Structure 1
Amino acid sequence: MAPLQGPQAGREEPGASPRRFTWEEIGLRTGRGQPQQERWLVINRKVYDISQFYRRHPGGARVISSYAGQDATDPFEAFHIDKELVRKYMSSLLIGELELDQPSFEPAKNKLLVEDFRELNTTVERMGLLNSSHLFFFLLLLHIVLLEAAGWFVLWSFGTSPVPFLISAVLLTMSQSQAGFLQHDLGHLSVFSNTKWNHLFHEFVMSHLKGLSACWWSLHHSQHHAKPNCFHKDPDISMHPFLFTLGKTLSVELGLKKKKFMPYNYQHKYFFITMPLLVVPVFQLYSIYFIVQRKLWRELAWTLTYFIRFFFFFEPLLGVKGVLGLLLLLNVAESILFTWISQMNHIPMHIDYDSNMDWFSTQLQATCNVNQSLFNDWFTGHLNFQIEHHLFPRMPRHNYWKVAPLVKSLCAKHGIEYQSKPLLTGFADILRSLKDSGELWLDAYLHG
């Protein structure tokens, strides 16, 4: 095995024979526990040194670092639109290739599954399932605008008494929730074939229609997709121990260490008054801080137009205090929807440290679906197809139902469970999972 060396020591010279590496060597370059903090990864058998580059990675340092020491071929294919352009920038990071006797991916035990998934990926591209319908997304945007207009119209036409106010709040909450799903599409580059257009419209929808930072969301959410339900790599999981303990591993660990940030054995009960009520209001405040800290002046301008537009339309009807109260109410209401919809696909699933599994297995063990129906598709922004979304994050949502049978077939071939459940069962499973984790923590806390 070659000794650890500085980031520049292994660079390939033009015209020279490529250096050869083993998975054992690559697995040591994770950026952790090393003097030089080297980070290497593999894409299509080529070895890249990202030790100096990872902090400049456009998708975020933590996203690319989560695959340091591992094969990143499938996430590379999943996240990037113009791969040839990206490869030009990658050429300066190339330091060699895998030894000829080394398998193309590690661990090699899933060789057939990985090969089958990559064949499925080719089939998906050949079928045009990564191509979006601009009419579909235009109609989505139109219905979002109409829902908001209807919310204003109800107050303007029928006054601000409790009934019309409640109807208006429901319409406005639906508008905000649906805008959240549309920005999610744009953030995943699944609306336009041009990355720049996705980013520009993402800013418009996220910042102007919702008052949040598109850049912050992209950096945060990409980490989740890279390693879902993996401690220290998925931010959706890593921040939970202060309020919740999730999964068997963390629950037992916290119990054995006598950690008690919260009475976790009651977390399935206090869940109702924590995350669902706090997520979006906290996001709103932190998002503004993030925009100012990063000096994202264009996003700041879009975000200001969100609040200006809201006050312009609703202040004459509700007054300043009424508008502030409505904003808070909408944030809390959307927070409830967002939390239940987003967590039903992940909290009940396997949660653990990263075990360097292949892309297909990583996504299937961390995600589940909710049964398809017209209402479920609309209400969840097609995130009832969470499995398909995680396997193909750039796929436009209107094509999930087309690829689902192919994914089910691949799961059946390799004996992998493909979970799909009713919507209410998905909600109930959040509480069941929290209860089970809380009991594991309590048992380890008291008897460990």
Structure 2
Amino acid sequence: MTELGVAPAIRSQGSDYAELMRQVRGAGLLERRTAYYYVKIGVTAALLAAGIAAFVIIGDSWWQLGIAAYLAAVFAQLGFVAHDAGHQQIFRRRPANAVVGLVHANLLIGFSYGWWVSKHNLHHAHPNEPGRDPDVAAGAIVFTPQEARTLRGPARLLARWQVWLFFPLLLLESANLHALSVGSLLRRRNRHNSLELGLLLLHAAGFLAVVLLVLPPVKALVFVVVQQGLFGLYLGCAFAPNHKGMPMPESGGTDYLRRQVLTSRNIRGGRVTDWALGGLNYQIEHHLFPSMPRPNLARVQPLVREFCVRHGIDYLQCGAVDSYRQALRHLQTVANATLRAPVTTT
């Protein structure tokens, strides 16, 4: 398994990826952009502080639901910073990135940084590969017709309607990630578990204490449900366009460059899109160069696109709405497989 943010070893110095990497290194696009991240972290912290201040000032009011939506967006931005730290994009030294990741993931939004890094490692090593990429593992949503045909009972019915349930289910994604984080930390045995669990406990205690000190129980419950639901929806909408509906290759059969490019899609847009999606709209470039700092992804894109055209590699870029349409079309294809006889196993 390759380490997160580190491209696999290039066996052949004459490979297409090696040629592209030489161009990228020569352009200085893998150099760290620490000043950018100092500003990014500072601005995001200020947005969080402003949201908390507004929450306290507004007090006991249903207008707090607007603050819940605002904080859902801020939490997603905090998650994007943790993502970049996990890819070693911010600092050269791994411990410094880990500190940023632990603070933003565990302490501020309540997700396990260590669990996420381990999971995300597998995704980058095997993007969209059934049985190896955890992001396409069967769960509430099923991503391959083969899996859909094996389902029975309620799971089969859920898969049949998954196109209509996709976005509503994303409202539960934050709760799912909280549960997976805690469950993983309780199962794993390593020296970082106590620290991560302690930070998760501090997050939960601090978050609930502030909410309950300002709002009565019913409004507090509604606030938490809305804030966490919209947070999960935002994250899901940011990650779903990247690979869903793209080819799902079996193990092997293609090189690193083509595996990363052909299973990913980019989302068109300007600076607003870059901010809203945390740079994940440059998914092809991000997968090719996981440790590349976020602000350099837009700069490397023309180079990568031209390289792919020159080497006859399909490079997909589309609008956000079209990306969701493609993803939902794939989910419908999978759902249609439930109309066939289930596969029996012996």
TM-score (norm 2): 0.89
CA shift in 2, pair 1:282/1:223, >3 Å: same
Identify unmatched segments of 5+ residues in structure 1: 1-63, 65-74, 84-103, 106-110
Tell me by how many angstroms 1:197 deviates.
Answer: 0.8
Among 316, 324, 333, which residue is 1:419 paired with? 316
Question: What is the 5 A alignment of 1:247-262?
Answer: 250-252=144-146, 254-255=148-149, 261-262=155-156
Identify unmatched segments of 5+ residues in structure 2: none
Which one-letter code corresponds to 1:224 in the other structure?
A: H
Q: Deviations over 1:67-120 (max 9, x none)?
A: xxxxxxxx6796169x9xxxxxxxxxxxxxxxxxxxx56xxxxx9xx7232121
Tell me if structure 1 keeps the 8 A contact 2:266–2:284. yes
C-alpha distance in structure 2 between counterparts of 1:419 and 1:160, whole Å: 48
Are residue 199 (structure 1) and residue 98 (structure 2) matched?
yes
Matched residue SS, 1:243:
coil
Among 171, 189, 193, which residue is 1:277 paired with? 171
Residue 98 of structure 1 corresponds to: none
**Runs of 4+ that moved beyond 6 A:** none
Question: What is the 5 A alignment of 1:363-402?
Answer: 363-402=260-299
Tell me by how many angstroms 1:170 deviates.
Answer: 1.7
Tell me by how many angstroms 1:155 deviates.
Answer: 2.8
Among 58, 64, 69, which residue is 1:158 paired with? 58
Are residue 144 (structure 1) and residue 38 (structure 2) matched?
no
Are residue 293 (structure 1) and residue 187 (structure 2) matched?
yes
Tell me by how many angstroms 1:303 deviates.
Answer: 1.8
Residue 80 of structure 2 corresponds to: 181
Residue 228 of structure 1 corresponds to: 127
C-alpha distance in structure 2 between counterparts of 1:320 and 1:144, whole Å: 29
Residue 217 of structure 1 corresponds to: 116
Tell me by how many angstroms 1:278 deviates.
Answer: 2.1
Q: Deviations over 1:194-219 (max 9, x none)?
A: 11111122111111111111110000
Q: Deviations over 1:232-260 (max 9, x none)?
A: 1101112x2x43332xxx304643x5756
Tell me if structure 2 keeps the 8 A contact 1:152–1:314. no
Greater relative CO, 1 or 2 (CA 8 Å, sep 6+): 2
Tell me by how many angstroms 1:436 deviates.
Answer: 2.3
Instruction: Indicate the percent of aligned positions where both proteins have the same amino acid.
Output: 27
C-alpha distance in structure 2 between counterparts of 1:384 and 1:77, whole Å: 19
C-alpha distance in structure 2 between counterparts of 1:137 and 1:180, whole Å: 14
CA shift in 2, pair 1:176/1:77, >3 Å: closer
Residue 36 of structure 1 corresponds to: none
Residue 431 of structure 1 corresponds to: 328
C-alpha distance in structure 2 between counterparts of 1:177 and 1:76, whole Å: 24
Aligned residue pairs total 337
Question: What is the 5 A alignment of 1:57-72?
Answer: 64=1
Tell me by how many angstroms 1:172 deviates.
Answer: 0.8
Q: CA RMSD in A?
A: 2.6
Are residue 267 (structure 1) and residue 267 (structure 2) matched?
no
C-alpha distance in structure 1 between counterparts of 2:244 and 2:168, whole Å: 17
Among 255, 263, 266, which residue is 1:358 paired with? 255
CA shift in 2, pair 1:320/1:137, >3 Å: farther
C-alpha distance in structure 1 between counterparts of 2:67 and 2:291, whole Å: 34
Matched residue SS, 2:203:
helix
Residue 46 of structure 1 corresponds to: none
C-alpha distance in structure 1 between counterparts of 2:256 and 2:245, whole Å: 20
Among 79, 93, 106, which residue is 2:6 paired with? 79
TM-score (norm 1): 0.69
Which one-letter code corresponds to 2:183 in the other structure?
A: Y
